[in-house]
Structure 1
């Protein structure tokens, strides 16, 4: 279906020429080559039994894999929600005009953007329980602690990943 436009405004004539779109053969050829390459690699893996479709089918729906996928979805969703709140407060601190809040927000963004994600996750899971072996909650007017537990009981792998992902994604 061609769209017609006047050939010239000077002549005032009703002469019209069809607009013909140029074919993008290069992108089609490159796309076809990419699909052929991927298909060749997959076919080679299947033919050499490196990719065994029966084994892939068995393990793809293994309960451990499904549980891991569910945990990843839950962790990602919670981290996204928490990091959105952290990002909002960080932005509000930056825009507040208070030099202390601006400096705190800038430092937080600088530290968490500049540190690789893997380092942050290792920090939350390994370094925090090492630095703080117990978590103690006490009030000055009561004898003894209200709550005391080893940090490794509180900082589970899920909670460490949630803290690391939320704090790392907050300033972005």
Structure 2
């Protein structure tokens, strides 16, 4: 009885000739090429339209680093950061109040969120700026007393308008993050003798940050752009500074482009910071951290070089 053994791929065929090498033909995605051509054509038309527009492009470079514009950029960053800090702190307090079993605190938190989420930021800014029409004197008894016009400056109106509005959204984000933590964590901390405040500070909030950080970063980017509405209360942020210069130099559109460039630059910087912050909080939950922007560039370059080399060899 003879036993048959499998023939290896390297062995000769019955005719005596070796097997031919497999020729792998990659699938061609013609739709991708068509889409790329259409996108490039549209971009070319857009660039050509702006290139032929009646604009003084030299004014963009002339006023891009103007002292007044730079002061407006600084004011935008300052009011945005302070308003975000106010919204974050107050949002955590409101989220805890809303999750409380006390009907008074939970109802007050719900009413706050309902009001500030239900009215436009533009209207809220105007209400704060014109508060002196309702309360001419700010009287806090023996603590503080002054005219409302001196208290409610453009900066204060902008800070309160942005910060209090942001607190309503941050309250819902923080509540979602707290709800994402398993209740067993709280039960375990209580079994160890921790108080509610210690459980919230040491157990719940550190784990909830993984859920809170991504939407918080998006809210801050949105807040940076919303700060342009503060021009209505005479706060001299980036847009208002650009409008003032544009009206005096007869370069209105050019200065709007300057403001656009600065808004894009600021949001880009903070978006990169948001990415690394999210990456840090993802260390305990993700097996593989997302690639950094520099790592993505290296991967794309490596893939492109491999594809070019493979194409040259096949040719």
* Structure having the larger proportion of residues in helix: 2
SS in 2 for 1:69: helix
Name the residue aligned to 1:55. 59
Name the residue aligned to 1:135. 138
Residue 43 (structure 1) shift: 2.8
Count of residues in correspondence between the two structures: 149
The RMSD of aligned alpha carbons is 2.7
Q: Residue 46 of structure 1 contacts residue 53 of structure 1 at CA under 8 Å; is this kept in 2?
A: no
Name the residue aligned to 2:154. 157
| Partner Cα distance (1:22, 1:119) in 2 | 56
Does 1:171 pair with 2:175? no
Residue 22 (structure 1) shift: 6.3
Does 1:95 pair with 2:95? no
Name the residue aligned to 2:129. 125
| Partner Cα distance (2:106, 2:137) in 1 | 33
Residue 64 (structure 1) shift: 1.4
SS in 2 for 1:89: helix
Does 1:109 pair with 2:113? yes
* Structure having the larger proportion of residues in strand: 1
The CA deviation string for residues 87-133 of structure 1, in whole angstroms up to 9 with x for no partner, is 1011000111100011101111111111111111111112x111111
Residues 137/94 of structure 1: CA separation in 2 closer, same or farther (3 Å cut):
closer
Using structure 2 for the length normalisation, give the TM-score: 0.42
Residues 20/121 of structure 1: CA separation in 2 closer, same or farther (3 Å cut):
farther
Does 1:41 pair with 2:46? yes
Using structure 1 for the length normalisation, give the TM-score: 0.74
Q: Which residues in structure 2 correspond to 1:62-81 (within 5 Å)?
A: 62-81=66-85
The CA deviation string for residues 34-57 of structure 1, in whole angstroms up to 9 with x for no partner, is 45434423332232332x221111
Q: Residue 113 of structure 1 contacts residue 171 of structure 1 at CA under 8 Å; is this kept in 2?
A: yes
| Partner Cα distance (2:150, 2:25) in 1 | 69
- The runs of 5 or more residues in structure 1 that have no matched partner are 1-14, 140-145
| Partner Cα distance (1:22, 1:123) in 2 | 62
